[in-house]
Amino acid sequence: MRRETSRRVALVVAGVLVLTGVVVADAVVGPSRPTPGGAPLASAVVSDAAATSSAWYCAGLAAVAGAVLVTNPGRIPVTGTVRSQPAGSGPATTESFAAPPEQQVAVNVPQGAATVSVNGGGVGVLEAVAGLGGMTAAPCASTVANTWYFAHGSTAGGNGMEVTVFNPLPTPAVVDISFVSSSTGTVFPPAYQGIPLAAGQSVVENVMDHAPDQVSLATEVATLSGSVVATVFEQAPAPGHGGMSFLDGAAAPRHAWAFARNEDVAGGTTLFIVYNPTSVAATVTVSLSLSQGQAAPFVLDLPPQSTSVMNAGQQTRIPAGAPYGIKFSTRATPGIVVTRVAESSGSTTPAVGWSSGQAGGVRRWLVAPVPAGQSPASLAVVDLSPGPVLVTVKGFQLNGAATALPGAKAVKLEPGSVFVLAPSPATPVGWSPVEVDASGPVAVQLDPSPAAPPGTASVAAWPLVSRLG
């Protein structure tokens, strides 16, 4: 009897222990849950150099004629084609190109959205346009998406704002365009609803026609079917106070955005427009990285479907005339979108520039050289992590290897601090492509010279998620 009882107890205890152990283990180590959302780090990501093919979609050129700039940091020449399709209907033109190693080539494109097909990978492509307002270049998109968000645009004060939507795929698409205005709330212009886009077709919508005199317009492009690429082309009247920019949109809201280098110059203004495109309120923490260290963060509260404009000049924590980095972060799901508007006193060209923030969480960046006719001024790197990071700025050798530039190898960055690298013959930052490699998330910004305050004409950089060279 005792033996039976003891074995019975042993059985029950063993079973209970096994189950308890499993439940505890499940709770402690648990199965690795799938990572939420497949949102890419950015809409423009340099693919692996070993890729068999890659494509870049330059929607902004549908609004204005310009050029595509193909940056090849690798050691192998890259060939491809640029196919340009005018908005609406019209004959498409195709032009081949060959990008030598470590070089940037420009391919002029008549007005029309362009698809850059690359026979391989490892290159970055910009769309660039020059005019009275100076020159601007922004990354083309390396991916299509179902939604695109733009935090800012303006049709007030003579500013021009054009939304271009491009369907580069063979699958037809239908899109809706809506706006969130700081004055009138969410707007769904009937003319912008259900826009059909056949394969390869693009459309340019002049927002002035349906939402005039709006100081700040956040834009959302959403597809009902298919996938597209969207860009906002923003233009300020010249002369005197002109400028123009391609704003590359965000395919998805994100939890963190950063601008590596900003400066509140005398007579100028720097605005940060934070857009909450979601249906839930968001609390946004603004962190400042000053030369003397990290300033105490402050908070912005955004209702659903709203924008908030932060004027840096009115923030007492930001010293006038001093460079600083800034980071916007939120825990709200799915996140926010941030755009910066930098404006000088008017004596420079361009006097005003719009740029999208860099998504947080990127450790490697490929920084394009400055466009022809300009010279690099500085490369700023800001630490976005809660701890120190080691930053190395690498130049590409002719053999394809990326080696650290003098004075830029394993530089330790404290949290919230900024590292600024000035170009020199030994550190040809801006003259040729460079890679910024950090042990933690960082943001980078290359400003050309001469130029107005940082941000008015920044050079694009692409997140790197694969190998180059």
Partner 1 sequence: MEDLAPGVVAVIVTCDPGPWFEETLQSFATQDYPELSVLVLDAGSVEDPTPRVATVLPSAFVRRLPENAGFAAAADAVLGMVAGASHLLLCHDDVGLDSDVVHVLVEESFRSNAGIVSPKLVAWDDPSRLLHVGMAVDKGGAVVDRVDPGEIDHGQHDGVRDVFLAPGGCMLVRADLFAELGGFDPAVVAMGDDLDLCWRAQVAGARVIVAPSARVRHLERLAAGERPLPGGAPSLQALQRRHELRIVLVAYSPFHLLRVLPQVLLLSLGELAVAVLTGNRARARAVVHAWTWNWSRRKELRASRAALRERRRLSDSEVRRLQVGGSARLTAYLRRLFAHGFEAAHAGAAALTAHRLATDEPGADSEVAGAPTLASGATALGSRPIPGSLGNGAGPWPADGAEEPEPAPAAPLSLSARALVWTVIVLVLLVGSRQLLGTGLPSMAGLLSWPAWSTLLHRFVTGWHAPGLGGVNPTSPATGPLGVAALLLGGSSGLLQKVIVLGCIPVGAWGMARLARPFASPRGRLVATLAYLAVPVAYDALALGRWDALVSYAAAPWVVARLARASDLEPFSAGYGSDRARRSRRRPLLRQIVALGVLEAVFTMLVPAGASLTLLMTVGLSVAALLVLGSSGWRPVRRMLATAVGATAVATVLLAPWSFAMLAGSQRWQALTGVALAPGTGPGWSSLLRLAVGPIGDSPLTYGLVVAAALPLLVAARHRLTWAAMAWGLVLTSWLVCWTEGSGWTAGFAITPLVLLAPAAVGVALGVGLGMAAFEQDLTAHRFGWRQVATVLAAAGAALGALPVLAGAGGGGWDVPTSGYGEAMAFLANRAPAGGFRTLWLGDPRAFPGGGWQLEPGVAYAVTNGGLPDSTSLWIGSSPDGAGTVANDVRLAQHHDTVQLGHLLAGPAIHYVVVVQALAPVIPGYQTPAQFPVPPALTEALSSQSDLVAVPGQSGADVYVNEVSSRPISANLQSSWTYRGVLYGVVLVWIVVVFRLARSSSGRGRRSRARPRAGAARSRTRRPSETGPRSVTGADAPAGVGR
Chain contacts with partner 1 (rule: CB under 8 A): 1, 3-4, 7-8, 10-12, 14-15, 18-19, 22-23, 26, 29-34, 37-38, 45, 47-48, 50-55, 115, 117, 121, 142-144, 168-172, 199, 225-227, 466
Nearer to partner 1, 4 or 316 (CB): 4
The token pair at 149 is 């968000």
From residue 54, alpha-carbon distances to 46, 79, 123, 125, 147 in Å are 9, 11, 9, 11, 21
Q: In the complex, what is the shortest distance from the CB of residue 175 to partner 1, in angstroms, rounded to a whole number?
A: 15
Nearer to partner 1, 430 or 469 (CB): 469
Q: In the complex, what is the shortest distance from the CB of residue 65 to partner 1, in angstroms, rounded to a whole number?
A: 23
List beta partners, residue 57.
Answer: 115, 141
Q: Nearest-CA neighbor of 55 among 129, 135, 144?
A: 144
Q: Nearest-CA neighbor of 223 among 249, 185, 260?
A: 249
Nearer to partner 1, 32 or 399 (CB): 32
The token pair at 129 is 């346009």
Residue 120 and residue 110 in contact, taking contact as beta carbons nearer than 8 Å? no
Q: In the complex, what is the shortest distance from the CB of residue 440 to partner 1, in angstroms, rounded to a whole number?
A: 24
Q: In the complex, what is the shortest distance from the CB of residue 42 to partner 1, in angstroms, rounded to a whole number?
A: 12
Three-state SS for 62?
helix
Nearer to partner 1, 125 or 393 (CB): 125
Provide the b/e sequence for 391-413 (b: ≥16 CB within 10 Å): bbbbbbeeebebebbeebeebeb
Nearer to partner 1, 47 or 356 (CB): 47
Q: In the complex, what is the shortest distance from the CB of residue 176 to partner 1, in angstroms, rounded to a whole number?
A: 17
| Distance (Å, whole) CA 116 – CA 118 | 6
Q: In the complex, what is the shortest distance from the CB of residue 128 to partner 1, in angstroms, rounded to a whole number?
A: 22
Q: In the complex, what is the shortest distance from the CB of residue 97 to partner 1, in angstroms, rounded to a whole number?
A: 17
| Distance (Å, whole) CA 73 – CA 49 | 10
Nearer to partner 1, 64 or 173 (CB): 173
Nearer to partner 1, 20 or 183 (CB): 20
List beta partners, residue 274.
Answer: 308, 338
Q: In the complex, what is the shortest distance from the CB of residue 51 to partner 1, in angstroms, rounded to a whole number?
A: 4
Q: In the complex, what is the shortest distance from the CB of residue 76 to partner 1, in angstroms, rounded to a whole number?
A: 15
Q: What is the largest CA-CA distance in the chain?
A: 103
List beta partners, residue 298.
Answer: 286
Nearer to partner 1, 56 or 328 (CB): 56
Nearer to partner 1, 54 or 329 (CB): 54
| Distance (Å, whole) CA 219 – CA 238 | 24
Q: In the complex, what is the shortest distance from the CB of residue 6 to partner 1, in angstroms, rounded to a whole number?
A: 9
Sign of torsion over alpha carbons 9, 10, 14, 20 = positive
Residue 283 and residue 336 in contact, taking contact as beta carbons nearer than 8 Å? no
- The DSSP bridge pattern shows strands 256-263 and 323-330 to be antiparallel
Nearer to partner 1, 198 or 281 (CB): 198
Nearer to partner 1, 5 or 399 (CB): 5
Nearer to partner 1, 35 or 89 (CB): 35
Residue listed under structure tokens 């346009």? 129
Based on C-alpha coordinates, what's the Rg of the chain?
Answer: 24
Q: In the complex, what is the shortest distance from the CB of residue 115 to partner 1, in angstroms, rounded to a whole number?
A: 8
Q: DSSP class of residue 118?
A: E
Q: DSSP class of residue 106?
A: E
Q: In the complex, what is the shortest distance from the CB of residue 18 to partner 1, in angstroms, rounded to a whole number?
A: 6
| Distance (Å, whole) CA 339 – CA 332 | 18
Q: Nearest-CA neighbor of 329 among 305, 358, 303, 293?
A: 358
